[in-house]
Homo-oligomer: A and B are copies of this chain.
Amino acid sequence: MGAEQLVLAVSTVVVALRPHPETGRLTLWLPLVRRIREPYRGMWALPGEPLRPEDDLATSARRTLERTTGLAPHYLEQLYAFGAVDRSPAGSGEDRVVSVVYWAIIRADEDARAIDGENVEWFVADEAPHLAFDHDTVLAYALARLRAKMGYSAIAHAFLTDEFTLAELRQVYEAVLQRPLDPANFRRQVLASKRVVPTGRHLSGTAHRPPALYRLAVPIPSADPARVVAAGHPEQEELT
């Protein structure tokens, strides 16, 4: 072994939809942790920890989610492993860190409350401060992948509870993609995709024509390799 040690860390990009403080429109938020050690002391970073010998990668990500939000994951997926040689500042005497990054999505009905309190703060994702290490790139990549995945997967439903109106689903798309969608076109496209089915129930306590409630036709496919292998090819679209 050389003097430099390789450290494997697991970081988690946790996203939730909350109103923007100025516009009031739903937008992506995420919790960041203020660094209390060098390098980058005082800067914000994605929450995470070094991998412990007894932990699987996802176990570590689950612990970070719990410590940061008090929640167990409904949706947790491995995003990417970041391992550029120069991720820690040269000459800082720091170990080389390779980070496996997960993302977690918090549902509308979940209330996040940090367990290790004062160092955690929530930010509007697209207005996050300059982050420590290469976390600017990690965050930008996570947001780009989330937005890309909205187009070809059921990932939008990770933000919703089991029953939802088509207006609520559209608001998720609008909030993540940051642009308005035509309600009639959206409704037509979603129903044509056959991804959602009506539950037969309606939203209660509202006007004299309460909107219909829908649910996913099939659950969001897991991205966990063992389950992907067991399930066949869940993401595959039909070619004739």
Contact = CB atoms under 8 A, between A and B. Distances in A.
Contacts of A4: 53
Contacts of A182: 240
A80 B81 CA distance: 8
Contact of A53 (B2, B82, B152, B234): B2
A53 B6 contact: yes
A51 B83 contact: yes
A148 B82 contact: no
Interface string A204-240: 0000000000000000000001101100111111111
Nearest to A189: B239
A147 B236 CA distance: 7
Interface in A64-121: 78, 80-85, 96, 98, 100
Interface string A141-162: 1001101111110000000000
A140 interface: yes
Interface stretch (A27-35, A54-62, A125-133, A195-203): A54-62
Contacts of A6: 6, 8, 51, 53
A236 B150 CA distance: 7
A240 to B, nearest CB: 5
A232 B144 contact: yes
B141 A55 contact: no
Interface in A2-57: 2, 4, 6, 8, 51, 53-57
A124 interface: no
Contacts of A236: 147-148, 150-151
A226 B137 contact: yes
Given A82-B225, A233-B147, A239 B141 contact: no
Given A57-B81, A100-B83, A144 B181 contact: no
Given A53-B85, A144-B228, 8 more contacts: A2-B53, A51-B98, A56-B83, A78-B80, A148-B236, A152-B152, A177-B239, A185-B240
